[in-house]
Amino acid sequence: MTTCAPRCIEGRLYCMGQPEHADLQALARKGVRRVINLRPHSELDWDEAACAATCGLEYVNIPVATPADLDRAHATALHEALQGDAPVLVHCGSANRVGALLALVATWEWGHPPEVALELGRSAGLAALEPAVRVRLGLPLD
């Protein structure tokens, strides 16, 4: 498995950086049924969709290439991909984009206060993109 172990938040949501084949196999054994990849195709050096399929996992790609992609369209796409009761893996390269987009989903789609959404984003991996998320949530830049 990768050195970046998945974090489980909200009970059924696993967040991590780039998984390897062994990570997908292990998560499938834990009951994960869908992989949501936030990396654009230009960042991928393997056929993750095919790998996910061999593990019995549904694969969804929502490419977030730059902070400009932290918008309502991408947040809505992630919100829709998270629907259902089965556990889900959301990943990017380091989990930073996962945390960023998840914070936006938490406010824009789930109605959480921005401060609560920001904490959720941090728990999912939000780091360097926090200033961009703060701007979008109407929070001050510290």
Non-local (6+) Cβ contacts of 117 within 8 A are 103, 104, 106, 107, 110, 137
Contact present, 122 and 89 (Cβ < 8 Å): no
CA distance 76 to 83: 11
CA–CA distances in Å: residue 47 to residues 9, 41, 54, 112: 27, 10, 11, 35
| Residues spanned by the domain of 14 | 9-137
Better pLDDT: 127 or 7: 127
Q: What is the pLDDT of residues 97-123, one digit of tens each?
A: 999 999 999 999 999 999 999 999 999
Is 38 within the bounds of a domain? yes
Is 4 within the bounds of a domain? no
CATH number at residue 123: 3.90.190.10
Q: What is the pLDDT of residues 5-46, one digit of tens each?
A: 788 887 899 999 999 999 999 999 999 999 999 999 999 888
Predicted TM-score (pTM) of this structure: 0.94
